[in-house]
Amino acid sequence: MKNKGVVYISMGVIWLLVMIFFAVIGNYHYERDYESYWNLAEKASTIQQKAVYMDKFVAGFKGKGFEGDYNAVFFKTPDNSFDKNFEALQSLKTRLDEIQKMNVTSFEYQTAIQQITAQEQGEAQDMLEVFSGIWWKNNYIFLWEWVAALEVVSCIILIASGLVKMGGGLKKINQAMKDAERQRLLNKLG
C-alpha cells in the first residue's frame, strides 16, 4: 500500500516538474521570437521605431503554419481565429505606416499617436492572447490553457491519492481521526 503511495506521489511530482521545465522553455521561446518585439514596440518613443518592431512582430507569425488555426478546439469563433486577429494586427501595422507619413507637428499626427498608444496598451491584449494561445497549442499542447489545467488537477489528485495510500488508506486515516478525537475528549474530561 505504501509503495503504491510513493509511486503515485512520484508520478505527480515528476509530471509537475516536467510541465514547469517545458513552460519555462516555451515562455522563453515565445518571448524571444514574438512577444519581445511587441513589448519593444510599446516602449519605443518614435513611430519609426514602433514600426520597425511591429514589422518584426508581424514577420514572426508569417509562414509558421498558424493560418486557419484557432485558439480553441471547440467553440471556434472569428474572435479566436488566427486569421482574423492577424488581419487586425496588419491593420494596426498599416496605420503605423500611414502615421509615419504625417507631419509630426500636426494635430492629426498627435491624435493618431494617442490612438496607436491606446491600442497597444490594452485594447490589443485580447489579440495577443489569441496569438499566444495558438502558439502554445501548436508547440506545447500539453501546456495549452485548459489542457494544462487538467494535467495540474490530475497531478494534484495523484499526489493526494499517494498521500492517502501512504497513510494506510481512507479507513486507516478515518480511524486515526476518530482515535484522535476520542483522545481529545478524554483529555478534556480527565
20 vs 114 pLDDT, higher one: 20
92 vs 79 pLDDT, higher one: 79
Overall size of the chain counted in residues: 190
Instruction: Report DSSP letters for 100-145, one per residue.
Output: HTS-TTSHHHHHHHHHHHHIIIIITHHHHHHHHHHHHHHH-GGGSH
For 70, the 3-state DSSP assignment is strand
Range with lowest mean pLDDT among 42-56, 59-73, 109-123? 109-123
* Other beta carbons less than 10 A from residue 150's beta carbon: 11
Distance of alpha carbon 83 from alpha carbon 141, whole angstroms = 20
Share of the chain above pLDDT 70, in %: 95
Q: Is the pLDDT of residue 188 over 90?
A: no
For 81, the 3-state DSSP assignment is strand
Res. 108 pLDDT band, cuts 50 70 90: confident
- Least Cα distance to 28 among 106, 118, 116, 139 occurs for 139
Output the CA–CA distances (angstroms, integers) from residue 188 to 13, 66, 177, in the order listed. Answer: 40, 68, 16
As a whole number, mean pLDDT of residues 146-162 equals 95
Q: Which three cell numbers stand for residue 144?
A: 495549452
42 vs 117 pLDDT, higher one: 42
- Classify the phi-psi angles of 65: left when phi > 0, otherwise alpha if psi is within -120 to 50, otherwise beta: left
Q: What is the pLDDT of residue 86?
A: 95
At residue 172, φ and ψ (nearest 5 deg) are -70, -40
